[in-house]
Amino acid sequence: MAFDIDLIQKVYAELPGKVAAARKALGRPLTLTEKILYTHLHPENPLQEYQRGGDYVFFQPDRVAMQDATAQMALLQFMMCGREKVAVPSTVHCDHLILAKDGADQDLAVANAENKEVYDFLSTISDKYNIGFWKPGAGIIHQIVLENYAFPGGMMIGTDSHTPNAGGLGMVAIGVGGADAVDVMAGMPWELKQPKVIGVKLTGKLSGWTTPKDVILKVAGILTVKGGTGAIVEYFGEGARSMSCTGKGTICNMGAEIGATTSTFGYDESMSRYLKATDRADVAALADQVAEHLTGDPEVYANPEQYFDRVIEIDLNTLEPHINGPYTPDRAFPISEFAAAVEEFGFPPVLEVGLIGSCTNSSYEDLDRAANIAKDAAAKGLRAKSEFTITPGSEQIRFTVERDGILQAFEDIGGVVLANACGPCIGQWARHTDDPNRANSIITSFNRNFAKRNDGNPQTRGFVASPELVTAMAISGSMKFNPLTDTLVNDKGEEVKLAPPQGYELPPNGFAVEDAGYQAPAEDGSSVVVAVDPASDRLQLLEPFQPIRNEQLQNMRILIKAKGKCTTDHISMAGPWLTYRGHLENISQNCLIGAVNAYNDKTNTVINHLTGEYHPVPESALAYRDNGVGQIVVGEENYGEGSSREHAAMEPRFLGVHAVLVKSFARIHETNLKKQGMLALTFAEPADYDLFRQDDTVSIVDFTSFAPGKQLTIELGHADGTKDTVKVNHTYNAAQIDWVRAGSALNKIREEVVG
Ligand code: F3S
């Protein structure tokens, strides 16, 4: 579907030379991860060894993918940079906004009506800027990327945390925020801390009830939800080669659950088979020619301890099926120990719902193997005792498995097929229950199982397992069922045992689809008008931010002096505010409402010096802005930690905050503030935080000589007539100071593009 063969040809043509140069520069054999990273270095970085876990490096990814919730602000921003089209191949996927309620067709119709303005916007802006658009119902971003765009040795970013799914096809694919997508689409270098590399050696071969999902459930148990932070996980060994490409995708997908930057596998026969089955025999042929560069060097895999930061070994011959949860994906139980755990920890013993599919587990292999369990059950006089749902990952998968009788097999035991979308995985699930507050158990083949994620009920214990195990458990209706050892009683009162699952890796009759749901962009998008209703409360075109002027930095007021932890959630809350992600003015009503005011220990209650009264933060900010009063935000350590969401920088900027002065920044937020043309400053002496009084005026007295490596000076005018002078640091380089002078990084690009 319009994948870019020219791009892949170019990447592969340059690959041998680039890998050889990187090997020479580092003076040692390379992991696959390093091959991909060093062959995607941005020219701004010299070719030299970068310290893993230390150096920040600029890269040039090959592609960008965006889902509908995050694409809105990313594309609204992209519009500002003045480019006629995106700098790298990019796609938008409408998958997150469809509520699962009554089944695929009905739910899709409702979503199309309710989200029409968002879909129209995404469709027209994609058309205009040469972006591939996947309509609602086409499927889930990561499944579609795997089926159409991922290629071995490539590097991509995606505005969704499970973008690493494309590692199943040998990519380094990293989940990012919208601001990063804007950088890459606008042709700017993209920055990442050079990751560490964790090696996972897989020996043996999967069999019986054990699946690729159990590999990552086991790894999650070993590494925990934080164990992969700042690292790329590279799988290798005979066990890796024996697994299907889509199974590898499942493992990489759930690498997000251990905090990994991404996960990947070396190119092998399974990837070649998958590429050919998904109509990309030409990519497979090209990859075959450079295969040695699409996997780690043999010396690395022979002596992994020498080249990886950490090595884990898993024997697939002895690996048991796992069930992980509740509430956290790293609480791992082998199936043989799970029934006892249900007793010991008091998990509700009735399995109320089993849910299979999602971006994590909806390959042909997953669904065929699960369907064979369903067929075996039906033949033995069983039906699903639990509610049972199936979410296909794409229309191509759905159409193919329907043709092959797989969906029918699920329906025959009581399964309900939902739309090709995220649905229950992201809480878009109108669950049928007589008591939405009851403590209960569900098992999914999805990836995340945090409290409230699926149905909003904190009493729901969500567990994750393979689709095969979920299907078997749903048939039993019991959390204590172990299909490897236990029998079930059928409609005739006989004891029967489910056979271990079997299935095809790829459809024997090939994939098929009538309408994949893809909309190619216009050949010439210059005349396309981007559809945004001026009356919309969900979408709003952006206005370029005006550069900060020196006089605005004199006699500023402190909007809030935040006390303690102030994450991006405190600055721009999620939850119901997600609706307004595409409307800067409306979402700015949540600006800093979660931050604690150091002057009164309250949230969302700050003094407004224009009235002398206390108001919500956004209200005071607006009053200052509209009366020409400059504003500064003061904070403590690691200010802006959490997500990379650019709204946390755009909202204060929109509300007239010019500077943020803290003890230290979370790096991504600091960069986001810089990109929006604001001043991100840190105390030279952290104790000076205490000098800032509620009724001070704050002036940056030497902004006109703002320069790289040079401190700025702040003068505090206290109400009693006294003054304090405070030195502050910054990390702006010359290019970033140009962003401030232009009003924002995008304004600067526009100046360069449009002149
Ligand atoms: Fe969607 Fe859940 Fe995957 S939200 S992208 S199906 S993790």
pLDDT band at 2; cut points 50, 70, 90: low
Catalytic residue check, 96? yes
Q: Where are the domains of the chain?
A: 5-315, 322-485, 550-754
pLDDT band at 229; cut points 50, 70, 90: confident
Nearest atom of ligand 1 to the alpha carbon of 142:
5
Place of tokens 């905090």: 259
Decide if pLDDT at 728 tops 60.
Answer: yes
Secondary structure (3-state) at 459: coil
Secondary structure (3-state) at 229: strand
> Tokens for 200?
């996972």
pLDDT band at 3; cut points 50, 70, 90: low
- Cβ atoms of 531 and 124 closer than 8 Å: yes
ipTM reported for the complex, 2 dp: 0.98
Rounded to an integer, the average pLDDT of 364-392 is 98
pLDDT of residue 452: 83
Pocket residue to mutate for ligand 1, from 70, 96, 134, 140, most atoms within 8 A of Cβ: 140
Decide if pLDDT at 280 tops 90.
Answer: yes
Q: Dump pLDDT digits (tens) for 561-590.
A: 999 999 988 999 877 787 898 999 999 999
- Distance CA(660)–CA(676), nearest Å, equals 12
Rounded to an integer, the average pLDDT of 484-494 is 97
Rounded to an integer, the average pLDDT of 329-333 is 96
Strand partners, 132: 91
Catalytic residue check, 322? no
Decide if pLDDT at 716 tops 70.
Answer: yes
Residues in the chain: 755
Decide if pLDDT at 451 tops 90.
Answer: no
Residue 490 CB-density burial (10 A; 0-12 exposed, 13-18 middle, 19+ buried) = middle
> Tokens for 659?
């500077």
Q: What residues line ligand 1, using a CB cutoff of 6 Å?
A: 95, 140-142, 160, 162, 358-359, 422, 425-426, 446-447
Nearest CA to ligand 1 atom 6: 422
Nearest CA to ligand 1 atom 1: 422
Distance 254 CA to ligand 1 centre (A): 11
pLDDT band at 91; cut points 50, 70, 90: very high
Pocket residue to mutate for ligand 1, from 359, 363, 455, most atoms within 8 A of Cβ: 359
CA-based nearest residue to 139, from 344, 331, 396, 328: 396
- Cβ atoms of 559 and 631 closer than 8 Å: yes
CA-based nearest residue to 681, from 702, 696, 650, 697: 702
- Annotation: CATH topology of 550-754: Aconitase; domain 4 (3.20.19)
> Tokens for 230?
């700042």
Q: Of 95, 107, 127, 569, which residue is the catalytic one?
A: 95
Q: Of 160, 330, 688, 696, which residue is the catalytic one?
A: 160
What is the model's pTM? Answer: 0.91
Q: Give me the DSSP letters along 528-566.
A: PPP---TT-SSB-PPPPPPPPPGGGGSSBEEEEEB-S--
> Tokens for 601?
């220990």
The answer to whether the 322-485 and 550-754 domains have the same CATH topology is no
Decide if pLDDT at 394 tops 60.
Answer: yes
Decide if pLDDT at 436 tops 60.
Answer: yes
Catalytic residue check, 620? no
Q: Of 90, 643, 699, 744, which residue is the catalytic one?
A: 643
pLDDT band at 69; cut points 50, 70, 90: confident
Distance 162 CA to ligand 1 centre (A): 7
**In whole numbers, what is the pLDDT of the chain averaged over residues?**
95
Which segments within 159-315 are labelled E, that is strand? 172-175, 190-193, 196-203, 231-236, 262-265, 310-315
Distance 484 CA to ligand 1 centre (A): 29
Instruction: Calculate the CA 610 to chain-centre distance.
Output: 42
Put residue 31 in one of left, alpha, beta given phi > 0 → left and psi -120 to 50 → alpha: beta
Catalytic residue check, 95? yes
pLDDT of residue 101: 85
Q: What is the CATH number of domain 5-315?
A: 3.30.499.10
Decide if pLDDT at 301 tops 90.
Answer: yes
Nearest CA to ligand 1 atom 3: 359
- Distance CA(389)–CA(104), nearest Å, equals 11
Catalytic residue check, 280? no
Distance 143 CA to ligand 1 centre (A): 10
Q: Dump pLDDT digits (tens) for 599-647.
A: 999 999 999 999 999 999 999 999 999 999 999 999 999 999 877 789 9
Distance 425 CA to ligand 1 centre (A): 6
Q: Of 448, 538, 581, 653, which residue is the catalytic one?
A: 448
Q: Sort strands 155-158 and 63-67 into parallel, antiparallel or unpaired.
A: parallel
- Cβ atoms of 291 and 12 closer than 8 Å: no
Put residue 259 in one of left, alpha, beta given phi > 0 → left and psi -120 to 50 → alpha: left
Q: Which residues contact 635 (CB under 8 A, 6 or more apart)?
A: 561, 562, 566, 595, 660, 661, 662, 663
Distance 163 CA to ligand 1 centre (A): 10
Distance 494 CA to ligand 1 centre (A): 40
Rounded to an integer, the average pLDDT of 476-481 is 98
- Distance CA(728)–CA(711), nearest Å, equals 6
Q: Of 63, 322, 369, 645, which residue is the catalytic one?
A: 645
Catalytic residue check, 160? yes
Q: Dump pLDDT digits (tens) for 115-172.
A: 999 999 999 999 999 999 999 999 999 999 999 999 999 999 999 989 999 999 999 9
Distance 249 CA to ligand 1 centre (A): 13
Secondary structure (3-state) at 334: strand
Residue 725 CB-density burial (10 A; 0-12 exposed, 13-18 middle, 19+ buried) = exposed
Q: What percent of the chain has pLDDT over 70?
A: 100
How crowded is residue 408: how many other Cβ atoms within 10 Å of its Cβ? 15
- Distance CA(626)–CA(611), nearest Å, equals 14
Distance 161 CA to ligand 1 centre (A): 9
pLDDT of residue 574: 76
Nearest CA to ligand 1 atom 2: 425
- Distance CA(76)–CA(485), nearest Å, equals 55
How crowded is residue 349: how many other Cβ atoms within 10 Å of its Cβ? 13
How many angstroms separate the Cα of 443 from the Cα of each of 323, 388, 447, 469? 8, 10, 11, 9
| Arch. (CATH architecture) of 322-485 | 2-Layer Sandwich (3.30)
pLDDT of residue 569: 86
Distance 426 CA to ligand 1 centre (A): 6
CA-based nearest residue to 231, from 202, 194, 275, 200: 194
Nearest atom of ligand 1 to the alpha carbon of 425:
2
